[in-house]
A and B are shown apart, each in its own frame.
Chain A
Amino acid sequence: MTQTSQRPLRVLAAMSGGVDSAVAAARAAEAGHDVTGVHLALSANPQSFRTGARGCCTIEDSRDARRAADVIGIPFYVWDLAERFREDVVDDFVAEYEAGRTPNPCLRCNEKIKFAALLDKALALGFDAVCTGHYATVVVAEDGSRELHRASDMAKDQSYVLGVLDEKQLAHAMFPLGDTLTTKDEIRAEAERRGLAVAKKPDSHDICFIADGDTQGFLAQRLGRAEGDIVDESGARVGTHEGAYGFTIGQRKGLRIGHPAPDGKPRYVLDISPVTNTVTVGPAESLDVTALTAIKPRWCGTAPTGPGTYTAQLRAHGGETEVTAELLPGAELRVSFTTPVRGVAPGQAIVLYDGTRVVGSATIATTERRTTVTA
């Protein structure tokens, strides 16, 4: 059970300009693979310099990636995937919010860009694999099939955002950082030791195409202002908003409701209805989700048959929760939570695990609450 095969591969390393992908490329090269670095230009109008810890496609990042490739001693190119990225990730992100859902653009990027557009091009050009700096582990099972597992270091695990990869994609994926128990500090130390100047570069956390981190502003610019009502569970109007897309289920801050609830308890966003442009708020306990349905399942291997017990992860840095899941006819996944969970929004991805192994993922379509069912 090894991450990489012994045979030297022709590897295309996606290099963002950050420390993780630089160390990943360096490890792949050190393992004897024939590595070529590629920086993906994902913005048609890149900013010259990164500000703080945000963004990952500035010209400065491109230069950082190039310098890392120089030091590793591998060829380096910049590929312009801005058009594909805009269509498949950015436009989708905006459309999802417009429809009242909460998308995860990183998953989408891995599914459509890094392990589709980039991987397809890499394979066509004669490469065997795409290498990234994700913290996750590819395990080759006894029968030669590939399994995706959580990283050895749970604290850094990024298998959630890779949960969309199918077996064919996994067969050509290489994650050199995931199979060792290394902390971020150790990765930085390793980068330093390798002479990579990105060793001290801050991590990027936010959505890369929203450079200033202002998601609401980004959406408002594209979707315009659309005033509507904020109502409580009885349907009574308790406030107004400037665009339902600006809210996420489970959100508490920024509601700007003048009057407190009759019981004095804080109110949360329970539901977003783009059709009526209405945001429904209510108490925390109304957020408790007992079950959900999810669509567009993608399996890392064969699809499970019959109901099964799994652990599920519902967001990038979320914890695990126990569920029972069953694939229904029509490729709809039905998931019941052993213990109700909060902050579950349509559009989010649910990733199912069997131990450390990623079983698959699907996009949440509807949720069932204790009291109400919402779409």
Chain B
Amino acid sequence: MAYLDHAATTPMLPEAIEAMTAQLAATGNASSLHAAGRRARRTVEEARESLAEAFGARPSEVVFTSGGTESDNLAVKGLYWARRDADPRRVRVLTSPVEHHAVLDAVHWLGEHEGATVEYLPVDGYGRVHPDALREAIAREPESVALVTAMWANNEIGTIFPVAELAAVAAEYDVPMHSDAVQAAGQLPVSFADSGLAAATLSGHKIGGPYGIGALLLGRDQTPVAVLHGGGQERHVRSGTLDVPAVAAFAVAAALARQRQPEFAREIGALRDELVDAVRSAVPDAVLGGDPDPAGRLPANAHFSFPGCEGDSLLLLLDAQGIECSTGSACTAGVAQPSHVLLATGTDPDLARGTLRFSLGHTSTRAEVEALAKAIGPAVERARTAGLS
């Protein structure tokens, strides 16, 4: 067995499981005023402090949500509505064409239903937005920009964005910038304060925490319009009873991820390099997606296009041998579409059909990489005979 899909989800850390199970048996709504409520509230606030510390934010800047998708929606829609309400001229939303669908579809929806003008910033062959491109787009008409949203690192090809530089450009024009940092967290040093961002998205289950919990790091001067209305929890921008066990476990995972990040990045980066070398020597014409410079890509990410192969075929053949990876592209009812990320980087559409993403994590071993090294050559050969249907 080789689990090479940690970017989809990574096993929960034992410490996080322990923290979660300890809370599952405890009663108390964090909004209640009695002792049980105060106990729950204390757990939540300690978690908030711990999470804030892990990601260079103030506790009051942590808004707990149900995960990455909700955080992205709250930031993108909420900030758009707030900015437009304050000044109806601000309808431009600047984003990249390689965002996760949680951002891409939210932005698209604003364009379809809320009068937003969505502008996709140009990216280079690695899928990266350059600060000059952002400056050019804002400067064209600064007063009409509602917000900028650009990811910290790409989930498919692992390309790291110059987030702080982009945020600095946005800040020059007093435009709030949001960044989806779901993939960056745990692999890169993520400091909300240093980034200069107005908002950043985090997810629990990508860093060894539980599913169904995430956070939006939200600058104190930002007041997005709420997506979920109700009891007024979380600065009134995210109503709903807090999931105390998940919050506690998320914070434990975040603290450990932060603490282990430098060593993890070094070790997993070396293992990733081995994986890349192994795939290349087995399949010499495999094309590495994203930035080949280790400084420019997530240390746990490897992404390949295999000419003449259908990604689906490769996935089936590897899956049958217990090697689990992803084609890296979005699915509709399980149907793989050519990746919007690869198309945006100018990849040939036929080549874009034969992609696999291998992503490593805290349980990855050399034996798993060796299993892939052994299997990938024959799998590619076989998938090629099946061709592109």
Contacts and interface: CB of A to CB of B under 8 A. Distances in A.
B168 interface: no
A236 interface: no
Nearest to B385: A124
Given A124-B386, A125-B386, A75 B320 contact: yes
A43 to B, nearest CB: 10
Interface of A: 36, 39, 41, 46, 59, 62-63, 66, 75, 77-82, 84, 117, 120-121, 124-126
Contacts of A75: 316, 319-320
A327 B313 CA distance: 41
A39 B315 CA distance: 15
B247 interface: no
A75 B382 CA distance: 19
10 contacts: A36-B316, A41-B334, A46-B332, A59-B332, A75-B316, A75-B319, A77-B334, A80-B312, A81-B389, A125-B317
Nearest to A59: B333
Interface string B361-389: 00000000000000000000011011101
Contacts of B25: none
Given A36-B316, A125-B313, A125-B386, 6 more contacts: A59-B332, A78-B333, A78-B334, A80-B335, A82-B335, A117-B389
Given A36-B316, A79-B312, A121 B333 contact: no
B212 to A, nearest CB: 21
Contacts of A41: 333-335
Interface string B29-41: 0000000000000
A30 B103 CA distance: 45
Interface centre among A39, A117, A125 (most CB of B within 10 A): A125
A77 B389 contact: no
B123 interface: no
B164 interface: no
Given A75-B320, A80-B336, A121 B382 contact: no
A271 B389 CA distance: 39
B333 A125 contact: no
B389 A121 contact: yes
Interface string B319-362: 11000000000001111100000000000000000000000000
Nearest to A79: B312
Q: Enumerate the 8 nearest inter-chain pairs by beta-carbon distance, A residue then B residue, closest first.
A: A78-B334, A124-B386, A59-B333, A124-B385, A41-B335, A80-B335, A62-B333, A121-B386
A56 B386 CA distance: 25
A8 B387 CA distance: 26
Contacts, number: 51
Contacts of A78: 333-335
Nearest to B353: A80
A124 B382 contact: yes
Nearest to B386: A124
Contact of B334 (A62, A81, A84, A120): A62
Given A36-B316, A81-B389, A125 B335 contact: no
Contact of A125 (B332, B334, B382): B382
B233 to A, nearest CB: 33
B389 A125 contact: no
A118 to B, nearest CB: 9
A80 B389 CA distance: 9
Interface in B291-327: 312-313, 315-317, 319-320
Contacts of A59: 332-333
A110 B24 CA distance: 54
A124 B387 contact: yes
B349 to A, nearest CB: 12
A300 to B, nearest CB: 25
B378 to A, nearest CB: 10
B313 to A, nearest CB: 6
A209 to B, nearest CB: 16
Given A79-B389, A81-B389, A125 B316 contact: yes
A190 B322 CA distance: 31
Nearest to A83: B389
A41 B333 CA distance: 9
Nearest to B383: A125
B357 to A, nearest CB: 17
Contacts of B320: 36, 75
A121 B382 CA distance: 10
B6 to A, nearest CB: 21
A39 B331 CA distance: 14
B333 A63 contact: yes
A288 B387 CA distance: 48
A36 B321 CA distance: 13
A77 B314 CA distance: 12
A109 to B, nearest CB: 15
Nearest to B316: A77
A95 B317 CA distance: 38
Nearest to B336: A80
A66 B382 contact: no
A75 B324 CA distance: 12
Contacts of B382: 124-126
A247 to B, nearest CB: 35
A40 to B, nearest CB: 10
B322 to A, nearest CB: 11
B323 to A, nearest CB: 13
Nearest to B334: A78
A308 to B, nearest CB: 38
B130 to A, nearest CB: 34
Contacts of A121: 313, 386-387, 389
B105 to A, nearest CB: 16
A121 B335 CA distance: 16
Contacts of B389: 79, 81, 84, 117, 121
Contacts of A36: 316, 320
Contacts of A62: 333-334
Nearest to B331: A78
Contacts of A117: 389
Nearest to B337: A80
A182 B274 CA distance: 56
A117 B386 CA distance: 10
Contacts of B386: 120-121, 124-125
A152 B56 CA distance: 72
A114 B334 CA distance: 19
B333 A77 contact: no
A79 B327 CA distance: 13
A39 B386 CA distance: 17
Given A39-B334, A126-B382, A77 B312 contact: yes
Contacts of B312: 77, 79-80
Contacts of B313: 121, 125
Contacts of A81: 389
A2 B387 CA distance: 33
Contacts of B335: 41, 78-80, 82
Contacts of B385: 124
